[in-house]
Chains A and B, each alone.
Chain A
Amino acid sequence: QVQLVQSGAEVKKPGASVKVSCKASGYTFTGYYMHWVRQAPGQGLEWMGRINPNSGGTNYAQKFQGRVTMTRDTSISTAYMELSRLRSDDTAVYYCAGVVVPAAISPDYYYYMDVWGKGTTVTVSS
């Protein structure tokens, strides 16, 4: 079945880096963008950026520019999100999310996130 399996919870100290993985199965990993979304405790969803698994091209939200790096390994259908210079307010659940098949509504294609990982909890604490 279509699924995204994320790596396990992490505890990091301020100033460190964290790298979260997301392994896709059941659909064409290189077909469409993979997105990363985070959610701080009790807060809303925050879009961090996306990677084109085919080309490796990335787009990052301005808030994370310079601190986030998204990569992929197509041989194992896995995307990665690395966040550096961690602060306490980076404590959050980090989700990967993708689209299996976009909607073709003539004359356009519409994209969304219809497959999600279960989330990876990252705790930043001294």
Chain B
Amino acid sequence: DIQMTQSPSSLSASVGDRVTITCRASQSISSYLNWYQQKPGKAPKLLIYAASSLQSGVPSRFSGSGSGTDFTLTISSLQPEDFATYYCQQSYSTLWAFGQGTKLEIK
């Protein structure tokens, strides 16, 4: 099975900061990598699919990059509503998997 590892597990940042979250796959997954945002008590929301494509309606301050085994999610200028937990997820293999999550907190 493909394992997904995110870093860091938690991150403190301020409004206006640029932040980057990393996701690594245990084997190559080409560009079959999605990113989700989850706020407490809510279902996850799709942000990025195919590693770098922005889901409709998602602000352009979110961007994704990478292919193969290493991927990043970048938020160019943090807004108050961006403080949440972020998950990567691979859709390359038959059995999908999530990373363990990165909790983004206000500094």
Query: Does A66 have its Cβ within 8 Å of any Cβ on chain B?
Result: no
> A62-B1, A105-B53 given as contacts; is B98 within 8 A of A46 (CB)?
yes
- Complex CA–CA separation, A95 to B41 (angstroms): 12
- Complex CA–CA separation, A47 to B38 (angstroms): 15
Candidates A47, A62, A119; contact of B89 at CB < 8 Å: A47
Tally B residues with Cβ within 8 Å of A.
26
Complex contact A50–B96 (CB within 8 A) = yes
Tally A residues with Cβ within 8 Å of B.
23
Closest to B46 in A: A114
- Complex CA–CA separation, A43 to B10 (angstroms): 13
Number of A-B contacts (CB under 8 A): 65
Which residues of chain B (14-46) have a CB below 8 Å from chain A?
31-32, 34, 36, 38, 43-46
Return chain B residues, CB-CB under 8 Å to A61.
1, 95, 97
Complex contact B43–A118 (CB within 8 A) = yes
Per-residue 0/1 for A45-66: is the Cβ within 8 Å of any B Cβ (1 yes, 0 no)?
Answer: 1110010000000010110000
Query: Does A27 have its Cβ within 8 Å of any Cβ on chain B?
Result: no
Return chain A residues, CB-CB under 8 Å to B46.
112-114
Query: Does A44 have its Cβ within 8 Å of any Cβ on chain B?
Result: yes
